[in-house]
Chains A and B, each alone.
Chain A
Amino acid sequence: MQTAISVEQIRKDFPILQRKVRKDKNLVYLDNAATTQKPIQVINAITDFYTNHNSNIHRAVHALAEEATEAYEMTRDKIAKFLNIKDRQEIVFVRGTTEAINLVAYAWGRQNIKEGDIIVTTEYEHHSNIVPWQLLTQEKKAKLEYIAIDDNGELILDQLDQYLATGKVKLVAVSQMSNVLGTITDVDAIISKCKKAGVRVLIDGAQSVPHMKVDLDALGCDFFAFSGHKMLGPTGVGVLWAKKELLEQMAPFHGGGDMIREVHKYETTWNDLPYKFEAGTPNIADVIGFAAAIDYLNNIGMDYVRAHEIEITKYALDKLSQINGIKLYGTSDMSKRGGVISFNFADIHPHDLATIIDEDGIAIRSGHHCAQVLMEKLDIAATSRASFYIYNTKEEVDVLINSLSRAARLFKL
């Protein structure tokens, strides 16, 4: 039996949450969809690595190299367990979700996408799940198509059927949770449709893996990408997971050390998976730090994470909807929504709003959130976005609500 976890206990593990900003204000950090704060356990793991174990990995035989290699590889095992991945060789360390998607676009896409083929993505993707496909389809004279969203911010999946019916679709690339609207994608339906049509599926899990239980074995997609820094881990670490048969067929992404078996003057053979895709000295310390983040999340449990976010998000949506002039985006059905709230406040530009409430120590994001295709669809230049994580409290939501009324006064709403 797991003992009850309190948000107060969790907050004590995050040194940054104890600091003041803008002179004497408590930090109210509501920009978790951009990056999360780090618990002391992660900070200590990185410090411990550099203090006691620092070494390059995989080749040297000395004691430090052995310790560093073991710790680095242990993260891979922890990720396998965390996401129910059966084969650890399918886990490739990259810098983040962006690099993972670019790896697939380059190494799989260039081999498999031909003139006239179609790649399908959605209107609520982050630029990292749009631009790599634009580059690829332009190079190959292929086509990029979008599944549109409805007024609730949910995908109109009938459009996927229409694209699949052309017989030209080779890949569907979709995020499991929108970073702007918080919409949770019905990836099961998408994957099942694509499987029937023999079409590959890439899932961008940057916003989902940190916030809900994900089982890659059950999911059955072909490629899956996510980042460590949005789930308590350090920046500069992410994962590409792909089916082994695909990774085996794919050409390497980067050439260099560690990804080779034998190098001769004019030819090279590749190392085994996953090392074929991990050229050069990797981000050893941060990969090791990431393991501490996974331990932390395992300890509190992903069910707790999701339940806590639903509670806070519901509370915030309720409070925000009572303010005159607030326009909320996305669905109010919490079973289809993560802890992300995008909104606009009357005619106050989101950048002005963010500056005003920053005075009260509140960190929110304002802008297009790297989702300009979605902004165009919604016909707005920007939104303000509050996004929650395990350490946020209802009191912090109240601070936000009070600060919004100050902004209303300044702008004479």
Chain B
Amino acid sequence: MSGNADIYHEMIVDYSRHPSNFGKIENPTIQYHDSNPLCGDSIDIYMNVDGDKVSDIKFSGRGCAICLACTSVLTEIVKGKTIEDARKIQKNDVLGELGLENLQAVRIKCALLSLKVLKYGLYSYLASKDANADALKQEASSLY
């Protein structure tokens, strides 16, 4: 990739116009919200947990194309996964899907906001059930 504008390839632009899993879940098992104070990206993630699986996931909010594309990809990855697998998702699992591994530092927060929201959301669900839940909180706060 020669320049930063190359990040605006077809997939990113398409996702920004037609995000996946966009919407709300009424009375979800897990709901979490966060925003980036400097740019105003704002994401809510909703998840239903069925047994040990994330049976459904949706998101709402607003953000730039990078933010909406990454959140779309993240929800696609999470849907149907077990909680155990969902908590193992790393930033390059999302960035790699969209060719954003070398995203410039000032935009990385746009790409990783949803992963942060996911990790905090899973933490809020697991805090009372899992002795190792704290690690999720650590990962979320150190993402960017």
| A359, B63: Cβ atoms closer than 8 Å | no
Task: Judge if B40 is at the interface, Cβ distance under 8 Å.
Answer: yes
Bitwise, A315-328 to B at CB < 8 A (1) or not (0) is 00000000000000
What is the minimal beta-carbon distance from B22 to any residue of chain A, in angstroms? Answer: 14
Bitwise, A369-413 to B at CB < 8 A (1) or not (0) is 000100100000110000000000000000000000010001110
Known: A347-B17, A355-B107, A382-B39. Is A410-B64 also a contact (CB below 8 A)?
no
What is the minimal beta-carbon distance from B74 to any residue of chain A, in angstroms? Answer: 18
| B110, A412: Cβ atoms closer than 8 Å | no
* B5, closest chain A residue (CB): A359
User: With the chains together, A352 CA to B7 CA distance in Å?
Assistant: 10
| A410, B107: Cβ atoms closer than 8 Å | no
| A381, B40: Cβ atoms closer than 8 Å | yes
| A349, B64: Cβ atoms closer than 8 Å | yes
Among B5, B40, B66, B110, contact of A410 (Cβ-Cβ < 8 Å): B5
| B5, A356: Cβ atoms closer than 8 Å | yes
| B63, A355: Cβ atoms closer than 8 Å | no
Task: Judge if A367 is at the interface, Cβ distance under 8 Å.
Answer: yes
Known: A351-B107, A355-B107, A358-B4. Is A367-B39 also a contact (CB below 8 A)?
yes
In chain A between 91 and 127, which residues have their CB closer than 8 angstroms to a CB of chain B? none
In chain B between 62 and 94, which residues have their CB closer than 8 angstroms to a CB of chain A? 62-66
* A349, closest chain B residue (CB): B64
Question: In the complex, what residues of B have CB within 8 A of residue A22's CB?
Answer: 3
* A406, closest chain B residue (CB): B5
A-B contact count (CB 8 A): 53
User: With the chains together, A316 CA to B62 CA distance in Å?
Assistant: 29
Among B3, B16, B38, contact of A359 (Cβ-Cβ < 8 Å): B3
| B62, A381: Cβ atoms closer than 8 Å | yes
User: With the chains together, A355 CA to B62 CA distance in Å?
Assistant: 18
Known: A351-B107, A352-B8, A410-B5. Is A368-B64 also a contact (CB below 8 A)?
no
User: With the chains together, A122 CA to B85 CA distance in Å?
Assistant: 50
| A355, B40: Cβ atoms closer than 8 Å | no
User: With the chains together, A391 CA to B8 CA distance in Å?
Assistant: 31
* A368, closest chain B residue (CB): B40
User: With the chains together, A375 CA to B40 CA distance in Å?
Assistant: 10
Task: Judge if B13 is at the interface, Cβ distance under 8 Å.
Answer: yes
Question: In the complex, what residues of B have CB within 8 A of residue A358's CB?
Answer: 4-5
* B42, closest chain A residue (CB): A381
* A403, closest chain B residue (CB): B5
Question: In the complex, what residues of A have CB within 8 A of residue B16's CB?
Answer: 347, 349, 352
Bitwise, A128-157 to B at CB < 8 A (1) or not (0) is 000000000000000000000000000000
User: With the chains together, A367 CA to B4 CA distance in Å?
Assistant: 19
What is the minimal beta-carbon distance from A135 to any residue of chain B, in angstroms? Answer: 18
* A411, closest chain B residue (CB): B13
Among A359, A382, A406, A411, contact of B40 (Cβ-Cβ < 8 Å): A382
What is the minimal beta-carbon distance from B5 to any residue of chain A, in angstroms? Answer: 4
| B17, A356: Cβ atoms closer than 8 Å | no
User: With the chains together, A323 CA to B107 CA distance in Å?
Assistant: 27
Among A350, A359, A381, contact of B4 (Cβ-Cβ < 8 Å): A359
Question: In the complex, what residues of B have CB within 8 A of residue A382's CB?
Answer: 39-40
Question: In the complex, what residues of B have CB within 8 A of residue A349's CB?
Answer: 16, 63-65
What is the minimal beta-carbon distance from B98 to any residue of chain A, in angstroms? Answer: 14
In chain B between 1 and 34, which residues have their CB closer than 8 angstroms to a CB of chain A? 3-5, 7-8, 13, 16-17
| B39, A355: Cβ atoms closer than 8 Å | no
Question: In the complex, what residues of B have CB within 8 A of residue A372's CB?
Answer: 40
Question: In the complex, what residues of B have CB within 8 A of residue A406's CB?
Answer: 5
| A356, B8: Cβ atoms closer than 8 Å | yes
What is the minimal beta-carbon distance from A351 to any residue of chain B, in angstroms? Answer: 4
User: With the chains together, A359 CA to B4 CA distance in Å?
Assistant: 7
| B65, A352: Cβ atoms closer than 8 Å | yes
* B104, closest chain A residue (CB): A355
User: With the chains together, A358 CA to B106 CA distance in Å?
Assistant: 12
What is the minimal beta-carbon distance from B53 to any residue of chain A, in angstroms? Answer: 33
Question: In the complex, what residues of A have CB within 8 A of residue B107's CB?
Answer: 351, 355
User: With the chains together, A349 CA to B39 CA distance in Å?
Assistant: 10
User: With the chains together, A352 CA to B5 CA distance in Å?
Assistant: 9
Question: In the complex, what residues of A have CB within 8 A of residue B5's CB?
Answer: 355-356, 358-359, 406, 410
* B106, closest chain A residue (CB): A355
Question: In the complex, what residues of A have CB within 8 A of residue B3's CB?
Answer: 22, 359
Among A350, A355, A375, A412, contact of B7 (Cβ-Cβ < 8 Å): A355
In chain A between 334 and 365, which residues have their CB closer than 8 angstroms to a CB of chain B? 347-352, 355-356, 358-359
- Known pairs A348-B65, A351-B107, A375-B40; list 4 more (Cβ under 8 Å): A351-B66, A410-B8, A410-B13, A411-B13
- 3 residue pairs, one from A and one from B, having the closest CB atoms: A349-B64, A359-B5, A351-B64
Q: List 28 A-B contacts (CB under 8 A).
A: A22-B3, A347-B16, A347-B17, A349-B16, A349-B65, A350-B64, A351-B41, A351-B64, A351-B107, A352-B64, A352-B66, A355-B4, A355-B7, A355-B8, A355-B107, A356-B8, A358-B4, A359-B3, A359-B5, A367-B38, A367-B39, A368-B39, A381-B62, A382-B39, A406-B5, A410-B8, A411-B8, A412-B13
Q: B residues engaging A (CB < 8 A)? A: 3-5, 7-8, 13, 16-17, 38-42, 62-66, 104, 107, 110
